[in-house]
Structure 1
Amino acid sequence: MLNLEAYGDKEEVLARLAQSRRALLDRLREAETSWLTTPLREEAWTPLMVAEHVALVEESTARVLRRLRRVAAGEDLPPVPFVPGEFKEGKPQAPEPVRPQGGLSLEEVLALLERTRGLLLEEAEKADPHNPATFPHPFFGELTALGWLRAALYHEEHHLKALG
């Protein structure tokens, strides 16, 4: 099982997120158009869809960080139903809300990545990494704000490796 704590403290996570984002953007910008729009393997997403998915996960993570901050501030928020992650042939499957729709151009994907990273960093800046409030992650269980940031880093690095 993956040990998210190995990803370090908030500052380390944010520094590595900056590195992984630079690498992802470089990979996308330097790629041939045909590679960007070709599935990575049979029944898989295209590289542009992978990048869209990374952005959707970041947007979702930013919303979770905002919720955790509000809970920590004493707001009484309605419960959110927990939906555990699904596996297919031993591999985690993206939950429906973060599955890419596809059809976006490189420019559109780059703009989406920029917008969602901005949201994530804005919420990360406000997040208290020591607050014990948690929210369930579909694959990692109950995570604090720092845990969610670590999961976002793991997620981007995981997909960056898959893109080669």
Structure 2
Amino acid sequence: MVNLEAYGDKEEALAHLAQSRQALLARLRGAEASWLSTPLRPGAWTPLLVAEHVALVEDSTARVLRRLRRLAAGESLPPVPFVPGEFRDGKPQAPEPVRPKGSLSLEEVLVLLEKARSFLLEEARLLDPHNPATFPHPFFGPLTALGWLRAAAYHEAHHLKALG
């Protein structure tokens, strides 16, 4: 099981995110076009699809951070149905909203990564790491805003390792 607390406090989690993003961008920008569009292994996503997925997850995470901040401020928000994560052959499968659609160029994926990261960093800047409110993560269960930030740091690092 993943120990999200290993990603530290808010500042440490942000430092992990900065490191992994720098490495991801270097990997993508320095890659051959053929590698970017070739599945990492049979039945797997291509590196471009992985990068698109990372951006979609970060955008989703930023929206969760915003929701938790709004709840802490006393806003009454409609409930969001919880959909538990699915596993196939012991591996977590990306929930439908964060599955890459494909057909994006490297340049388009880089723009998507930048937009998602900017949104995530803005919401992270505003998050109160002591806010006890939680929102369920499909694989980690109920997480606070800090837990979601740590999960984002873990997520990008996890996919970066898969890219080699």
Name structure 1 gaps, 5 residues minimum: none
Return the offset for 1:148.
Answer: 0.1
| Alpha-carbon distance between aligned partners in 1 of 2:158 and 2:40, rounded to the nearest angstrom | 14
| Alpha-carbon distance between aligned partners in 2 of 1:157 and 1:50, rounded to the nearest angstrom | 12
Deviation track 1:7-30 (CA, whole Å, cap 9, x = no partner) reads 100000001100100000000000
Q: Percent identity?
A: 82
| Alpha-carbon distance between aligned partners in 2 of 1:70 and 1:62, rounded to the nearest angstrom | 12
Deviation track 1:102-132 (CA, whole Å, cap 9, x = no partner) reads 1110000000000000000000000001100
| Alpha-carbon distance between aligned partners in 1 of 2:114 and 2:28, rounded to the nearest angstrom | 13
Q: Structure 1 counterpart of 2:12, which letter?
A: E
- In structure 2, the partner of 1:14 is 14
Return the offset for 1:146.
Answer: 0.2
| Alpha-carbon distance between aligned partners in 2 of 1:111 and 1:2, rounded to the nearest angstrom | 29
Within-5 A mapping of 1:119-130 = 119-130=119-130
Within-5 A mapping of 1:25-40 = 25-40=25-40
Within-5 A mapping of 1:55-94 = 55-94=55-94
- In structure 2, the partner of 1:135 is 135
Q: TM-score, normalised by structure 2?
A: 0.99
Q: TM-score, normalised by structure 1?
A: 0.99
| Alpha-carbon distance between aligned partners in 2 of 1:41 and 1:102, rounded to the nearest angstrom | 17
3-state SS in 2 of match to 1:42: coil
Q: Structure 2 counterpart of 1:113, which letter?
A: L
Return the offset for 1:163.
Answer: 0.1
3-state SS in 1 of match to 2:6: helix
Aligned Cα root-mean-square deviation (Å): 0.4
Say how many residue pairs are matched: 164
- In structure 1, the partner of 2:97 is 97
